[in-house]
Structure 1
Amino acid sequence: MPGATRHGDDVGRWLAAQRRNWDRLNAEQQRRLGELGVKKASRARKAAAKTTTKSGPRTGGNAFQKGLQALAQYVAREGGMPGRGAVEELADGPHRVGIWVGNQKARRDRLDPAQLAALAELGVDWAR
């Protein structure tokens, strides 16, 4: 279990690595771990291949639209940009609009021109 520490060392992470890299261990290491009840990790299923492309809008476009809606609602009510802790209530529940704006800024090089234009229209200065 990663996170279990002893004298500042993450023993859980170490143990997970031993199980994951079992075939790289020598016979003596495998034997000693086996005496402690440690076994080779079961083979993980391969993740499905990504089907999205690097450029253009992603499948998360709905999330972007929800964030944009929350930002528009906040700006209309408050007249300025939200702080990091701002939460906006939409029909489907609360949206952490302040964090969302920060995330968009961090990812601005991956936003398409239409997304940047929508943010700029709401007054986001870094999107211009």
Structure 2
Amino acid sequence: MNPNTPGQTIDRRLLRPREPKPFPTAKSHIDAGGTLPREAGVLVVQGEDLGAWLKAQRLGWDKLGAAQQWLLESVLGVEEAGEDARPVRRTRDDKWMLNLAAARRFHAREGHLNVPRKHTELVSVDEAGRGAAGVEASSGAGLQGVPVALGMWLANTRRRANKLTGARRADLDALGMRWYATAAPVPSSCTPKASQAG
């Protein structure tokens, strides 16, 4: 097909950049005597993070077609991720406790909660409790602790103060939380008067 010939068009699918094909890359790696990693960032071959791809295949097993599952099982020796390999979902209460632990840690060290908006606090897994459930090593958690975007959380919490329960507000008040001032009522002299039809 010549795009310069009148009446001829180009199939646009032919112009798309070629998508990477992790399966052949993974098969070539195994054929060369290598093993496939279970975590992201461990093995990158020809620009493909085989660990990230493999993890996505294992966690999304139900979304794969029968032929894809068969190829992964028979050719690469990959099986569906078990319940222990699936990420744990944290509840809102777990997330609150994690953020509160970060606020307590910052307050104990600094003596205030005037946290810069971009500040990230590292909380040990012991302090975080159930709030650390599901946090992976690749997300920055490790020996240092669980990273918490404390400045952003405090700014959002201040903005949504009217939606907090009394207990949660009391937890932050105990740490000396500065709340945003509430909007003052508008004086009646500033409100528009209804026009009178005459």
Scaled by the length of structure 1, what TM-score is found? 0.48
Give the structure with higher Rg (CA): 2
Normalised TM-score (structure 2)? 0.34
